[in-house]
A and B are shown apart, each in its own frame.
Chain A
Amino acid sequence: MITHPKTEELAQAVALWIDQIRPSLDPRNAFLARVAVNVLGVVGRELAQGPAAEARAAGLMADLLGHEGSHAALNAELCSAIRAGGMTVETPGLLAALQTMARDQLAIDQPNYKAEGSL
């Protein structure tokens, strides 16, 4: 990966530019510009944290399902197992694994969101 600049720095540069021009925009576009800055925040965090989060999720799902696989394949298999009733809230380790996966994803999507039970 090229480092001068890194991809997340490119996203950060665009976000800073949007912040600079935001005061000159009409209310609707100023709102959308703020959303766009948030989008670039997600992109930046996903670049930085996404690979580790995905690897961890794949590891947790592999443990639950008893075999290795790609994140996409394991995720699809886990969904099918839950849908078919083969895995439920009583399945040992399931909720704990899902809790970790949800937290990792939320840390990318909305790090400031206060989830149920967090205060």
Chain B
Amino acid sequence: MTVDVPLALEKLAVRLGGAGASLDGAQRLSGGASMETWAFAVAGSKGREELILRRRSAPFDPENARSVSLATEAALIRATGARGALVPPVRHLCDEADGLGEAYVMGRVDGETLGRRIVGDPRFDAVRGKLARQCGEALVPIHATSPPDGLNLKVSDAEGELDRYEEVYRATGAERPILELSFQYLRKHLPQPVAPKLLHGDFRNGNLMFDPERGVVAVLDWELSHIGDPAEDMGWICTNSWRFGRPDRPVGGFGDYADLLAGYAEAGGRPVELSRVRFWQMLGSLRWGVMCLTMYLSWANGVEKSVERPMIGRRVSETEADLVVLLEQGL
């Protein structure tokens, strides 16, 4: 079913802004094959409100999807926000009357999300040195949040993640020696079990919004949220695929491990060992490699038609180049 989003937003504007309110501009920002983001504004008697619509444009299969529903995402943003996490305010969870399918509306937060700019744009020179510490601090209230009841979030530890990604890798039929060796190596170096916490699940440069003066202002894209090892969120932002050409700055291409770990501990997080973060960082490269394989396969199977998909398949070699160095360095 095709939805005329601007038309539906006109109706939604009245619901959000009250009688007499109207839609004041609507623009699709980005989106992959299954998720859309729209910027729009509502002009009403109380003034003009700038908003973001996040909606799923392809059917969602909660049984097989790794990601959570948008209703769950909205509930997690509300719950972590109440605990003090840097999240955009959830303004409205869409229902059938809105005619937008699975969707919710948030307040618009100004800032930059493009990883390459955070890493290289001179506008961020002054604040860049503070970002790794802020990232550590930003994770504390997320990990301290008790997930709301009834969300049915997936629970996974290091071994569970390895099992899952190895199963996916085997199913692709690809034969890649470095990925094989990484699975074997990581299985021999599993970290000690730890009390599981609520994780963002996709905490990396690209999913964070930064302000040139204030630094981290919002943590976005909650669809991979789950319960697990807190170091998983720290390792993912250190994975080289999200350092945007600055492998010498392990945290997101902008900072150092020590600042990330200190920011986390000093904000009240349970201190995490660097070796544990490095384990998850390595598993992060492996995970991204397997994800690239599955994105290629979604094209090969005819599910996705975009030229992006087969090209992403050729990003597996970037993870192999990273993994083989990590294997040489050792955990």
Residues of A within 8 A of B (CB): 32, 35-36, 38-39, 42, 75-76, 78-79, 82-83, 85, 87-89, 94-95, 98-99, 101-103, 105-106, 108-110, 112-119
Contact = CB atoms under 8 A, between A and B. Distances in A.
B144 interface: no
A88 B187 CA distance: 12
Contacts of B247: 114-119
9 contacts: A39-B307, A89-B185, A94-B181, A98-B178, A102-B317, A102-B320, A108-B317, A110-B318, A116-B285
B321 interface: yes
Interface stretch (B72-80, B132-140, B308-316): B308-316
Contact of B177 (A32, A38, A79): A79
B306 interface: yes
A101 B321 CA distance: 9
Interface stretch (B85-93, B203-211, B219-227, B322-330): B322-330
Contacts of B243: 114
Nearest to A100: B324
A118 B321 CA distance: 10
* Interface size grouping (class) on chain B: 35 or more
B180 A106 contact: no
B66 interface: no
A109 B327 contact: no
A98 B310 contact: no
B308 A116 contact: no
Given A88-B184, A99-B328, A110-B318, 14 more contacts: A39-B307, A83-B180, A83-B184, A88-B185, A89-B185, A89-B328, A102-B321, A105-B321, A108-B317, A112-B245, A113-B245, A114-B246, A115-B240, A115-B325
A35 B240 contact: no
Contacts of B161: none
B307 A35 contact: yes
Contact of A117 (B177, B178, B184, B325): B325
A113 B324 contact: no
B117 interface: no
B248 interface: yes
Nearest to B178: A98
A35 B311 contact: yes
Contact of A98 (B177, B248, B306, B330): B177
B149 interface: no
Contacts of B311: 35, 38-39, 42
Contacts of B310: 39
Contacts of B273: none
B175 interface: yes
A40 to B, nearest CB: 10
Given A82-B184, A109-B317, A102 B178 contact: yes
A105 B316 CA distance: 10
A117 B285 CA distance: 14
B185 A32 contact: no
A115 B315 contact: no
Contact of B317 (A39, A99, A106): A106
A119 B318 contact: no
